[in-house]
Chains A and B, each alone.
Chain A
């Protein structure tokens, strides 16, 4: 296996792409009892239109198939459910779907080998019937309703919808009750066969492992399958501008929730560097020690630090600033004023002291990501899907200069690219 070492956080990554196409990543951690395995496919909710390798026509499936598959994978032909089998082994198993990947995971302190065998078995053996597909529609329907009632989910989704007019990131991960009603077993098999080919998947293990030995054990559990060609994912072209400036919704909440978004042009070749710069900028502009936060807090406009985030995948990227406030419009106004002021200071550059201090903070945050096997595994998986090696965040750190951050500031925090979503009390 190839070994990549990081001396700052004192961890090693063992990585290999197997002949059957599966990428295996192992991050050994001595001193831990817990072991974590996560197996992901580069198939998320936004991938409803694609060309199956070897075919020429485009396939379009209803929204929510990736998530539906996630629910159905546990079911076995003999009537058992792998989630039950794993739970009975004393391991904690789960699965989730995001915009760009679906992941199956478990963590355990005992019975790792048995649990891994089960994981490998159910991921490689789908079993869909008309009956079990129909049954799942009820459960997923409840899940969709649960999200519909969650104000924080609504405020987030509306921010996304305000930014994007075409991109499928606008659609709920689970789809809608209507869209999932069109899902049947043939659609599930078709998507499974396309996206669950080992060449489209990655396995990450973290815990007290001997990587080479563990890799041999993993190989024994893999089916001998043919490597598929490249899947062509089709996304409708998204205009550069925002869809709409503002979306408001009324729900049963005590204080309005808001989310401010900036649609960002991703630096394809340099996204880690861009990400670091954005994190630094967000902290300088709106972090806990910022002038803006102090003002908002003292005027009673917010009562806890703002949530600051940069989200991206292969065909979208945006900055999000969220929180709760009795007057979200005022928060927006103060934010814009603050950015204007920083831009003015920019004539002389960002404040050096702020820049250096926030850099130290961000560095500490990156190191902290390596505390728990679960966080480590999920991070390496999610980054890998995006074409990133997680260690790059520690390595590219030095390259982020004040000048580069200033350049990003100008490009990203642009009012023409800004939206706001608000959930107001009834």
Chain B
């Protein structure tokens, strides 16, 4: 076998061409890693949202709580369903909730921005056990107070003590909460009756969240509600509901792959060019290698390895650049009207994917030039 050092030294000697070809790979791989990190980040938020013990109930036919409406009668029936847990005081662990998207005017910028508000009763904190106040105090009913998620604090630059104009009143930020990185962190929570009266939603709720004893009980409750003749609704376990919300990232994933493939094809042509040029310049070297006894397939492998080396350098740098977005926070729209704060997440899977993609580009781009080496006649090349 031709020593790998031979190829490595050749790459160093033609460092300008090597660097340019590798940078083509770097850009493709970096773009792929960033796009995958975006998708992973959004999916992570959706998969960590909701607790498997909870069943979220929407109005029949509705898949999004923004558009769902449940009346008081149905809410009472759901509350008393078999399987719904109770707290120490014997109160059903059923949270009646209103979910609204309101337009908040940012006076300094003169633009409207969406704010997601959930109207809840005190029982909600027994149902959504992920919620933890990290700053300020808990929500007090009928005091025009709200608590905000970490994501809202960052996106809207709000802090404890700030006032938010919503409807005809001003709401004071009483506290900031975290919810294990879930979609709840992109919400503002307010007192349900206060919010209902402010936005003319009395007597209707968006959803009911029912807490059961465990994931199995939640599934049983879901089946029971689905098959009920008297109750007409759309129940889902909370993780299932949020996973469904993340479905639209599939489209972004497909688009990311299509773009990456096209960019990859471009980079393949680039590496082919480089390798053909390298072979053209080293026809005499190849002839000498053949004459001193190296077989055609050994030279083929040697040149193929050279292309792969370029792809490894480019891929490595691309992954490095792509990883720089890891943890970077932004918000994006998911589902019909929901916006979630997420952090770009470069996972091991993405890195392996990107590395394989880079390697594949190197192999495909290097194969054709390497095959052309076999056709070189040593004596003719030395003439």
B is a partner of A: no
Residues of B with Cβ closer than 8 Å to A?
none
